Structure 1
Amino acid sequence: MTPRTRAAAPLLAALAVLAAPPVPAAADAAPWTAAPVTGAKGGGGGGRGPQESRSAFYLEGTPGTVLEDKLSVRNPGDRPHTVELRGTGPWISLAARRVDVPPRTRADVPLTVTVPAGTPPGDHSAAVVVSGGGRWVRVPMTVRVGGPALSALSVEHVRVSGTGRSAVIRYALVNRGNTALAPRLTIRAEGLFGELLSRPASGVPDRLPPGGSVRLEERWPGAPRLDRVAVRVTATAPDGTRAAASGSYAPLPWLGPALAGLGVLAAAVVARRLLRRRRGPA
């Protein structure tokens, strides 16, 4: 580098900095949030303390009533946000479907929940969904409809498919009541010579809503290859409500008739020998 070039280097560097494009401002580090308004009286007993925040709506009422609450959309960032709002069920009505939220402020949107006449008592689930700026938030809602709670379960369609290590027990669990349940299930199997299986079922949901149903299956690698088995599935809710159903399993369908035939044949042989003894020697 020549002495003239060394002298010009600082000036060239300064010009390069001035000519460089400006660095874009970073995106908002704190995006908008959505939640029920703090301390709102969630209709009929769902209220909270004035300083207690809520992560979900909880409302109570009887059929035919209209419940009220509010959704709060907060914008802690430095630029405005526009969000879209919608309810997941026909019961929910929002005062606005689109809301503009200025920087460092919030927008409170009133909403109503109309419980139709004739709605069965129990818990009913819904949600308010808020979306905007490439993200969305689902705010859960539980509406408890007053009236006598009814717990009712049913176990249905118990069957076993496959044989040996590939055997699978399949069945359906249905909540036929009007309140959510968290049942425990046990599976028992008995063959011609006693008990073959007794254990809790796996994969049972933690919460089964009213009217909900689920199909479940249980692998049974120790299933017998030569037997006639009765499989019984029993469901028990925390309040003591029980339901059970059974299904038969015969890996070799001809085994039962064959054993029955052998029994008849053995009985005939024994009867013939007894008859001969009674007659004595010819």
Structure 2
Amino acid sequence: MTEKHTKPLRRRLRPALAAVALALAGLAASGAPAMAVDDGTLGIRPQSESDFFHLDLAPGAATDATAIVSNHTGAPVTLLTYPVDGQNTAQGTFAFAGKDDQAKALGAWVHLDADQVTVPANTDLPVHFRLTVPQGTPPGDYAGGVIIQAPPVQGQTTTVHDTAVRIDTVQRQGVRIYLKVDGTPVKSQSHGTLAWTQDGPNLDFTLPVTNTGNTILHPTADLNLTGWPTNGAQAKFDTPESLLPGATVHLHATLPGAPPAQAGTAEAKINSEAGTQDATATVLYAPWLALGIALLALAAAAYGAWRLARFVRRARAALAQAAAAQSTGIWPAARPAQERTAQDGTAPTGRH
């Protein structure tokens, strides 16, 4: 293995792999009904609840709690244990912060008895911690968790563009902690610009929604498109798992079978515990290149028709004048040479 090339790449890949493992743990913990996090090898759950920790404390108060760490394998395993803050992904999925991310709220208020534990084979081990809410903490909902992290598993070495690469995987699992700090709840939300793009036969819409209050929200949104030729088309935005205070989620909706051109208005109606809000956007698109070519062709045809009509009018006038002269026997007299010369601006020629 080439250490010079492999280590930087592994350092870049390890956080991504850890995030993938953590996201899988979060998905396992967010099912309906919610169950403890357990992949069949390792698991962590509250001692006295079925899914997550749900705590209610006043500023300055503290509580002791216990998580149960399970080792289902036939060998003892040593695990790192540490608290982290909770956060939202852009799609609205609950996620844990990384091990090296600075804890700013609940993750900083949890104190574990030890930063690692050794769990015997086929054993459940209690892991105790204390959660202390600092004095002066604003009221509202806070989220975080306690993480167990297994030792890295070395992957096989492969060659990528003449460079030896080995990917080591890190398995993390976490149990969520939801904390409600006593005080006046504030339920409010705001939204950004409703944006849209045309993706082949589909219209894709994106709407950012931000939780500006101090309680967890569960927003939903519906889309309605009015105008021409499509009028009254409807779609539903993706529903996020939850929206933590201060977090922003990007809701997505798709209208399939969009027409080749559309002129109208899209309206999104957002509903949550904070009430109802509307967001609108003008939807105007067409195959502009084809329309431009068609307009140029139409303009050229119109100009040709105008020139043809003008020529026909002049020809008809000349023929009518000639017919009138023939019927009266009087033909238009030729202009004198001097008059023609003066009007044409040419010098007279020939003898006087």
The range that moved more, 89-98 or 75-84, is 75-84
Q: Is the Cα–Cα contact under 8 Å of residues 186 and 198 in structure 1 kept in the other structure?
A: no
Change (3 A) 1:86 1:248: same
The answer for the alignment partner of 1:182 in structure 2 is: 218
- The runs of 5 or more residues in structure 2 that have no matched partner are 1-39, 85-106, 154-170, 289-352
Change (3 A) 1:97 1:184: same
The range that moved more, 212-221 or 71-80, is 71-80
Match status 1:36 vs 2:43: no
Match status 1:61 vs 2:57: yes
- Count matched residues: 210
Change (3 A) 1:227 1:34: closer
Match status 1:150 vs 2:186: yes
The answer for the alignment partner of 1:84 in structure 2 is: 80
Change (3 A) 1:56 1:216: closer
Residue 223 of structure 1: CA displacement? 4.5
TM-score under structure 1 normalisation?
0.61
Match status 1:197 vs 2:232: yes
Aligned-residue Cα RMSD (Å) equals: 3.4
Instruction: Provide the C-alpha distance between the structure 1 equivalents of 2:123 and 2:258, rounded to a whole number of angstroms.
Output: 64
The answer for the alignment partner of 1:212 in structure 2 is: 247
Q: Is the Cα–Cα contact under 8 Å of residues 189 and 274 in structure 2 kept in the other structure?
A: no
Q: Deviations over 1:196-237 (max 9, x none)?
A: 235342312132222221223323345455554222111111
The answer for the alignment partner of 2:302 in structure 1 is: none
Instruction: Provide the C-alpha distance between the structure 2 equivalents of 1:101 and 1:221, rounded to a whole number of angstroms.
Output: 52
Q: Percent identity?
A: 25
| 1:121 partner letter | P
- Of the two structures, which has the highest relative contact order with CA contacts closer than 8 Å and spacing of 6 or more? 2
The answer for the alignment partner of 1:244 in structure 2 is: 278
The answer for the alignment partner of 1:96 in structure 2 is: 114
TM-score under structure 2 normalisation?
0.50
| 1:234 partner letter | K
Change (3 A) 1:146 1:225: same
| 1:143 partner letter | L
Change (3 A) 1:225 1:126: same
| 1:247 partner letter | A
Greater Cα radius of gyration, structure 1 or 2: 2
Change (3 A) 1:62 1:33: same
The answer for the alignment partner of 2:133 in structure 1 is: 115
Change (3 A) 1:35 1:69: same
Residue 128 of structure 1: CA displacement? 0.8
Change (3 A) 1:75 1:247: closer
Residue 186 of structure 1: CA displacement? 1.5
Residue 83 of structure 1: CA displacement? 2.6
Q: Deviations over 1:53-78 (max 9, x none)?
A: 54422211122322221233356777
Instruction: Provide the C-alpha distance between the structure 2 equivalents of 1:34 and 1:164, rounded to a whole number of angstroms.
Output: 45
Change (3 A) 1:234 1:95: same
Residue 160 of structure 1: CA displacement? 2.9
Instruction: Provide the C-alpha distance between the structure 1 equivalents of 2:235 and 2:135, rounded to a whole number of angstroms.
Output: 40
Instruction: Provide the C-alpha distance between the structure 2 equivalents of 1:223 and 1:231, rounded to a whole number of angstroms.
Output: 13
Residue 157 of structure 1: CA displacement? 0.7
More helix by share: 2
Q: Is the Cα–Cα contact under 8 Å of residues 225 and 234 in structure 2 kept in the other structure?
A: no
Q: Deviations over 1:136-179 (max 9, x none)?
A: 43222111112222221223211333388343323212222221
SS of equivalent to 1:83: strand
Q: Is the Cα–Cα contact under 8 Å of residues 150 and 177 in structure 1 kept in the other structure?
A: yes
Match status 1:128 vs 2:146: yes
Instruction: Provide the C-alpha distance between the structure 1 equivalents of 2:122 and 2:205, rounded to a whole number of angstroms.
Output: 57
